[in-house]
Structure 1
Amino acid sequence: MADFHFLRPLWLLAIIALIYLIWQLKKLRIASSAWHKVIPKHLTSMLLSNEENKKPISLIIPSIIGLLIIVAMAGPTWQKIPQPVFEVERGSVIVMDMSFSMLATDIKPNRLTMARFKAMDLVKEINEGEIGLVAYAGDAFVISPLTADINNINLLLPSLSPEIMPELGSNPYPALLLANEMLQNSGHLSGDIYWVTDGISSDELQDINDFIASHDHRVNILGVGTEQGAPITLANGELMKDRGGNIVIPKINLQRLSGISSRSSGLFSPITADESDIEKLGERPIAQAKDMQAQQDNLGDQWQEAGPYLLLIVLPLMLGYFRRGLLFTPILFAFALTTTYTPTVEAQEQTAPLQNKAVETVEPSFWDNLWKTSDQQASAKFEQKQYQAAAEQFNNPQWKASSLYKAGNYEQALQEYEQLLNSDATDERSVSEVIQSTYNHGNTLAQLSKYDDAIAKYDEVLAQQPDHADALANKALIEQLKQQQDEQEQEQNQDQNSDEQQEQDQEQQQSDKNEQQNQDQNQQGDSGQQDDQSQSENSEQQQDSQDPQSSDKSDDANPEQNDNADQNPDDKESDQQSRDNEQQNGEKNDSEQENQAQAQADNAEQNDEQGVENEQMAGMTDSPTAEEIEANQKFDQLLKKVTDDPHLLLRNKMQLEYQKRRQNRSSIGVKEKW
């Protein structure tokens, strides 16, 4: 009640008018009874009518009713209404200790086995939002990024063991930093870290406290082990010893772990045989875990008005006037007119036959309008996550914009925020409300990928409130996204330029190739003509050289025929004609033989190609032989021998990442041996 005040205190001035009205009514009552001073009492009953003999109306009840109505109109209130602040979905990271001390046997069969089972139970207990998995020994590694698929986490947990870690030891500080990086990159400004460990040394305590002080995450710890401890049994069955040859017996410090979790507003539980430890860690919802002061900051200047509840007291006081029909009948009639539901233009449009919409808009009933305002009805829909329906019913621009944002209608939400911030009513609002609207405006711009405008809005918020944690975190995240977007655009431009250059080079090479082919063809044509000419000349020379020889031989061999030839010129001419015909027939036969040889070569080539195709088709259609079946079986056996062991895959993955880290940075945190 310390914040009790009136939202509309000027209505209290109506009390003066109420006092004046009561005074006038009292004077009227006195004036109406003036005959009693003149007429004797025994004649009053006969001279005055029954109406005038009635007792005067009491003014106490009307005074109380009028006072209650005035106070209700003034708007008494003492409680704030939480304003919607955009919070990201729940984000959780499970951090698993994979140091050799987890092989201690004080918990049967050992700490590691129980820790893995408890981690799987914890994943089922959370079962909402996004969950990631980190394992650490001498260094920390991401086993699974944040994901909503809990089955993926459950499949990876059994594969974790100290033997697969690239660097042995115990260094939890890098694991916490890695968990924070995962949450920040996924947009979770405040999340939950579930740390499953068997303890830390005093040297590591300072780094852990610094991490808790600089981050808003809750650190929930499940302590695995006992304060008595037990030896560490290695894979070969031997007990782990220190450099002095003494058997190592790790013990858990439950008080130290409990202090770490309490400083981060987290929860702590030692491991138990039942489910009580997991139930304790999952007691509170984790969408946002902040202290009471941070929760107060999320409350705006919207106050819950108690005036309507005062009117409930007025109703029974007015029952008597319904019978008499006096004084308040016009007021009741006016009140009934104002509370009777009259659809607005938007409601009339919604109730009209919808031809293109499958979902009908449900109108608020008369009863709802009688007891709740439009904003109150919309607020109920907002809590039921009916954001679009709430946005259509809200009159408050801040709530309307928030509903549109929640409904994913960022364009209309952006318009509402711009109108809200640019309107004249902004000057009348409080500073905190303006800051909150500006912050939400920036979030809307970020959702629309308008990163520059969003950063400008965050700067406006930080200019008025430099310690606004959400604005700082969102600004940093948006700057990272903008940088990534610029880098991607630059890479795309470079790829496009390289593609264009390659196309130009290919075109140039193609043109050069075409020119070279044309030149080769021209050269071949010239050489072909020269060859034909040379061949024809050679053939003529050979023929000329052969003719004399043949003629000489024929003359020597057949002198008689020569004589006869000289004697018979007609026979000589006929012999010459026959020789010419034989030569023409020989040339014709040679050309036909060349054509036939070319056709046979083409047919042979086609037959060879067809034979290859037939062999391929036969290989496809024929059933596999015994050798092929045996070869396939051997191939399947080789495939089965390919390593798909999750332990080995995880180890190789972490080993590659560890080698890259050693080249880029030095170790951080305090590293223990087990």
Structure 2
Amino acid sequence: MFDYSFVSLLSANFHFIRPMLLLLILPLALIIAVRWQRSNGEQSEQVLPEHLHKALTVGELGWRKRLPLKLLTVLLLLAIVSSAGPTWTRYDSPFNEDKAALLVVVDLSQSMLEKDVAPNRLIRTQHKIIDLIEQRDGGRTGLIAYAGSAHVVMPLTADKQVFTPFVSALSPEIMPIEGKQAQQALPLIDTLLSEQKGASILLITDGMVPTAINAYQDYFSNSPHQLLILGVGDTQREATLPLDVRSLQELANKTDASLRLISVDDQDVQALAKQIARHMEIASDSMMPWQDMGYYLLFPMSLLLLLWFRKGWLVNWSVVLVIAGNSLLMPTPVHASEGALLQQQTMPVEVQQREQKNATLTTTIWQTTQQAWFDLWLTPDQQGDRALHKKQYLQAAQHYQDPFLKGIAYYYAAQFKAAQISFMQQPTPQSLLYAGNALARQREYIAARNLLVDLGKQMDQAPRESDVLLRADVSNNLAAIQKIIDDINRYSESQKGTTDGLEESFELDKEDPITSDGFEEIAPQEVLHKETLNAREILGSEELANKWLNRVEADPTRFLQAKFYLQLQSQFSEDQ
């Protein structure tokens, strides 16, 4: 199935990073035109008749005539376009806050228990949702279930460990009313995604009723969000309630959605993940730089350069030498055979040490020679870019001289302390924003909040037009961190008067992260005169955190069933 999201991304974001270089096409056209006219003037067509010219001319005719000049024109044109920097996508941000939000809407009607796909439609749906979460790798995901009514199973979260048990608990039994009213989920979608940009809604179902199709058409006609539809079922196998592809196709046509049927492999999950990311790129105002896609034009340019080896054509030996030299300096991987390993095991210890020393020395020589070659042609920051694109983040951090780029490389490598230190070395507003994110990754929520508050005050005192987007990011991150602190504080306050975990309490070291403002608890006199039990203790002790988590019911099915019933009762009361 053709991926229309790529076409949308291309049409919405395509531009040139350095458009002024396209003006080089004008002198190129002038030079080629002069050379073409001169080539025509050298011909004897003006003296000889056409039939004698064809008979006496030795050489190529037709489209091959003046082929070197034609190919040179194409080659130079590709070089100009490549230098102008065509682009349509940005570099991926290392911060999960920039990931696309996804809201999964799952059909929990009785038809989802059909077994035309093994073991049944619902279980396959659960597997696909979990696979999609793994594929997204950090993006925030929410979950809504509907039957005769719709309910929020899980708000937007990036915590896969919390999300997965609730996906496994999905069942028609937890729904208070039977039915197939997908339109009941629209108010919940609007509430959860009210502050999200570039979000996607994934509707997983085996069919839609006409009233729901009309409701979705009205909603998505004015919604900036993307609708994706995953049809669950197999039309080639019999089922009591077969997959209604017609209604799903009608929904896709009326909402400009993408319809995809469930597959036995992960092709459907990979395609959905790409569409979600691309829609985020279209709608996002990310501050990440544009990715120069002109480098890909080097491949057709290289193929055209090969033609210059023909006799009579100019050979660009410098390009050949650079490519050959780069290839020769790349170390060849050595694979040890089973016989060699057995022989090594039978060697004396001194011989093994000498062989290992020689191998290490050879590797060091190769690495030194290769590094010297790269130092000859690339700056340290360019070498850092090369390592970053190869996902060798620690090596990239070692090469980068710019503290901001070094901090990003450390952030990619999950070295958040080192990233924080690098960002703080050059305290620009953007560096301070990213330093706050690095602090939050270390669970230093209080320090991160204070840093972002100070940054907001600095930007308010010296406002600049270029900081409008950055100021919005600071405000959003500050609100998210404050929400985490408030949640931890509320939980800590709820523990007042309880005795759970008192024997696990301890004093925080000076280096432990400060995650909340903290609450002081007065325990019963028969247990302890004074006890402090707050979120710092729970998050600071792995043993205490595991014990606290073990008290949570492993199967949330009953919890969801009771929650949905109470929500439905509350809605009935409000309507009356």
> TM-score, normalized by length of structure 2?
0.48
TM-score of the superposed pair, with normalisation by structure 1: 0.42
| Rg larger in structure | 1
The answer to which structure has the higher helix fraction is 1
